[in-house]
Amino acid sequence: MTLDEIVRRLARRVRRHPRTLLKWFDDAGAVEVGGTYLLVKVDGFAASRALYPWCSYGDLGFRAVTGAVSDVLAKGCRPYIYAVSLGVTPDRVDNVEELTKGVEEAVELYGGYLENLDTNVGYDTWVDVFVVAECRHRPIPRGARPGDVVVLARSVGLSSIAYLEFSAGRAPDLPEVRAFSCRPRAEPAVADAVEELSGCLSGSIDISDTLLESLQQLVEPYGVYLELDPSYVLHPLAVHYSRSSGVPKHILLLASNEEYVPVLACRSSCAEEVVNVLRSKWLNAAVLGTVLEIDGVTWRGTEVKGISWDYASGRVVVKP
């Protein structure tokens, strides 16, 4: 039985709040209490699976907070209270200080308060982050309808370069790629944009695994038809990397992972407004494709299947 199958089986017996607002498999939980919308999010990272060799333990702490906050922002909410669990190996208990510093720097960037910190010793170094968030409107769920347009909030691709270079046994040459891979940043302005656009949006999801998986999860049970030139939504360094390495641009796009930027589904009549509002927040948003009654994600007529994050190996798997 796969991890996904186990989680789905367990989900059928979990006791949930009578005023829950999001489905069990969404990226966060939300409830309505006394007319107030509250969002809760938990996320975790183990150094053995999530820390590039050129990054620091402080980077791991920062990125763990970013991963949790990204889902909060994609729902149109704002982080308020954090609780963090840190784990270190017996020979590196001094790492607690560096991990905490990274956590604190992220909280300072995204806003809110770190109210509880737990420390443990084990066989790996890890960071688990719990966030309580405030929402001024009902949180945006995953979801889409046929005919909706899918919008990417900003360009992506630096994560693909970092991962491919790591897989080849080397660190990225470009400082910008190394910096992004160690400390990707969520976009606080996303919450303002999603709040402003809530009447137009069918769904929202962030890119934490791969973009391909995010698209599949956002529009399920439907599919997405993509036809744009990837150069319009890839970071310029990713476009250059495609030329120099021979990796197709659409692979760099769909394999982008841990970018911590949302993908939004909206009514077609709102697509221009969604792009313009995001651009007004200094986000170079662009339309990715259209939701159709098809299977999976189709790239210029061909379904793309083989790009996913494999939790067992801790790697992005790219298959023909």
CATH number at residue 100: 3.30.1330.10
In a domain, 141, yes or no: no
95 and 204 share a domain? no
pLDDT tens across 207-254, in order?
998 999 999 999 999 999 998 999 999 999 999 999 999 999 999 999
Checking if the pLDDT of 320 tops 70, the result is no
158 and 292 share a domain? yes
**Which tokens sit at 277?**
């509002």
129 and 220 share a domain? no
In a domain, 57, yes or no: yes
Sign of CA dihedral 253, 257, 261, 266: positive
Checking if the pLDDT of 311 tops 90, the result is no
Q: Which whole number is the average pLDDT over 60-89? A: 98
Largest CA distance in the chain: 58
Distance (Å, whole) CA 320 – CA 306: 6
Q: Which of 280, 234, 240, 279 is nearest to 259 (CA)?
A: 234
DSSP at 45: E
Sign of CA dihedral 165, 170, 176, 181: positive
In a domain, 193, yes or no: yes
- Can you give the pLDDT at residue 24? 87
CATH number at residue 226: 3.90.650.10
C-alpha distances out from residue 26 to 10, 86, 123, 134, 204, Å: 15, 25, 30, 17, 10
Distance (Å, whole) CA 157 – CA 257: 8
C-alpha distances out from residue 209 to 132, 277, 317, Å: 22, 26, 11
In the chain, the DSSP E strands lie at 29-33, 36-46, 77-88, 113-121, 126-135, 149-152, 201-206, 223-226, 262-266, 286-292, 297-299, 302-304, 307-310, 315-318
Boundary-marking domain end, from 135, 165, 181: 135
DSSP at 234: B
- 312, with CB counted inside 10 A (0-12, 13-18, 19+), is exposed
156 and 246 share a domain? yes
**Which tokens sit at 164?**
């491919």
In a domain, 67, yes or no: yes
In a domain, 34, yes or no: yes
In a domain, 140, yes or no: no
| Helix-then-strand count for the chain, H and E | 11, 14
Distance (Å, whole) CA 88 – CA 287: 43
Peptide bond preceding 221 in cis form (omega within 30 of 0): yes
pLDDT classification of 308: cutoffs 50, 70, 90 = low
312 and 233 share a domain? yes
160 and 268 share a domain? yes
Instruction: Note the pTM of the prediction, 2 decimals.
Output: 0.93
pLDDT tens across 12-48, in order?
888 889 899 999 889 999 999 988 999 999 999 999 9
In a domain, 33, yes or no: yes
Checking if the pLDDT of 304 tops 70, the result is yes
DSSP 266-304: E-GGGHHHHHHHHHHTT---EEEEEEESSSSEEETTEEE
Q: Which whole number is the average pLDDT over 100-128? A: 98
Q: Which whole number is the average pLDDT over 89-108? A: 97
Strand 149-152 with 286-292, pairing? antiparallel
Residue 56: partners with Cβ closer than 8 Å, 6 or more residues away: 98, 102, 182
What is the tally of structural domains in the chain? 2
- Can you give the pLDDT at residue 147? 98
In a domain, 273, yes or no: yes
42 and 73 share a domain? yes
Distance (Å, whole) CA 273 – CA 271: 5
Range of 238's domain? 149-318
